[in-house]
Structure 1
Amino acid sequence: MTEPSKSALILIEYVNDWLSPTGGIYPMFQDREQLDTAVANSKIILDEARRRGMHVVHASLKFEPTYKVLGEGKYGLRSMMRTYGSFLGELADFYPGFEPAEGEFVVRERGGGSSVFVGTTLDSYLRNNGIFDIYLAGFSLRQCVESSMRNAHDLGYHTNIIYDASAGYTRKQQDDFVAEIAPFYANAITTQNFLTQA
């Protein structure tokens, strides 16, 4: 593993909308066992990243009630987020146990896109701190995590996906991602792999 101060754990969408039973997006997870496992593993990797002194980045969205930044949003995520009332108020707050610690970088400014790199300061933050080894985890695996992974690859980062600390809406989405998508863009690892890397 790279020097911890030159690597980053990037946590994507660890907010109430996704992880709380009262969240608007939470019901979309059809495989609750996969989700519960991902949350438990995410706590483990977050604790380990902090223990090692890695950079920790928290990436999510938070909108104002009119969703002006999304424009007309006729289809796709820009339409869905408005329809479901996503990322508003307390639903956009970080889920208990995943609140940013002092000094950890928070990315909130992306304008409704899937990737945490598009329209944000994340790439500048990583490059300005000499970070090229990154570890991604979060929700949903086949949307925001996958889009972020693809962008990270194209930007030249050494990208690792901690796939058992992430969840798709179904087990099949996770299995297909690991077998068919990740090998082209990243190193797919487990929580245990992350813990044993020195």
Structure 2
Amino acid sequence: MSARPNAALVLIEFQREWLDPEHGRLNHLVEDRGMLDTAVDGAAAALAVARAHGVPVVHVPLVLTPGAPELESWTPARLGLRAAIPKAGTWIQGSTGVEFAEAFRPAPGEPIVRGRAGASAFAGSSDFDLILRRLGVTDLYLAGFATHVCVESTLREAHDRGYTAHVIHDACAAFTRAQQEHVREHVIHHFGDETDAAAFAASLDSAISAR
């Protein structure tokens, strides 16, 4: 697989909520710590090579106002994450958890998605699609958290919107290994494909050499 010249690396929720062992509430819920460490290393490698080759990097945080009214939409938030997030008080603007993890802070000029309100990077009044279209991106390389929630939701919607989506599986993590493997074995192939950080780097090297 060769990375196309109209590709972008998409970093989903590389925020302290996930990556700060001291202040990250979701970090404390990750059972497979080795998988999380692998994902951080894989994402850092993918980020470094994307920047080195001038591949666009798009950052997809989740930032909500107190009480998370963005999740109410036109109906009350009774079930799922729409109900759980306001109760947990996670992802609230101004809190430590919404800050980007130090190793994944956006570089100058790298777009940060605004207005997202939901599991998918496209959800709510997100400007994710507009950013991708402005950049001329057709292929998305997805990294982030959690594999079985926000990465999977973004993968599915990217497919339905006509994008070609690739999951960098060793740059993603779920809470458990079983959740991770379920997505890899039973979900990804319906909506895109998977790669790893080393193959992503090699594909960029190959694409540059072929020019």
For normalisation by structure 1, the TM-score amounts to: 0.94
Q: Structure 1, residues 143-193: CA drift from partner, whole Å, max 9, x if none?
A: 000000000011111111001100011111111111110011111111111
For residues 31 and 45 of structure 2, the distance between their equivalents in structure 1, rounded to whole angstroms, comes to 23
Partners of 2:114 and 2:127 within 8 A in 1: no
Superposition map of 1:49-60 within 5 A: 49-60=50-61
> Which sits farther off after the overlay, 113-122 or 137-146?
113-122
For residues 80 and 12 of structure 2, the distance between their equivalents in structure 1, rounded to whole angstroms, comes to 19
1:123 to 107, 119, 129: 129
Partners of 1:24 and 1:85 within 8 A in 2: no
Q: Give the drift of 1:196.
A: 1.2
1:133 aligns with 2:139: yes
Q: Structure 1, residues 53-93: CA drift from partner, whole Å, max 9, x if none?
A: 01100001112223222234211101111121111212100
For normalisation by structure 2, the TM-score amounts to: 0.89
The gaps in structure 1 that reach 5 residues or longer are: none
SS in structure 2 of the partner of residue 165 of structure 1: strand
Q: Give the match for residue 2 of structure 1.
A: 4
Q: Give the drift of 1:2.
A: 1.4
Q: Give the match for residue 11 of structure 1.
A: 11
Q: Structure 1, residues 82-113: CA drift from partner, whole Å, max 9, x if none?
A: 121111212100011100000001013112x1
Letter in 2 for 1:73: A
Letter in 1 for 2:8: A
SS in structure 2 of the partner of residue 163 of structure 1: strand
For residues 17 and 91 of structure 1, the distance between their equivalents in structure 2, rounded to whole angstroms, comes to 4
Letter in 2 for 1:55: P
Percent identity over the alignment is 37
The gaps in structure 2 that reach 5 residues or longer are: 207-211
Letter in 2 for 1:148: T
For residues 177 and 163 of structure 1, the distance between their equivalents in structure 2, rounded to whole angstroms, comes to 10
Aligned length: 195
Superposition map of 1:62-81 within 5 A: 62-71=63-72, 72-81=76-85
1:37 aligns with 2:38: yes
1:103 aligns with 2:109: yes
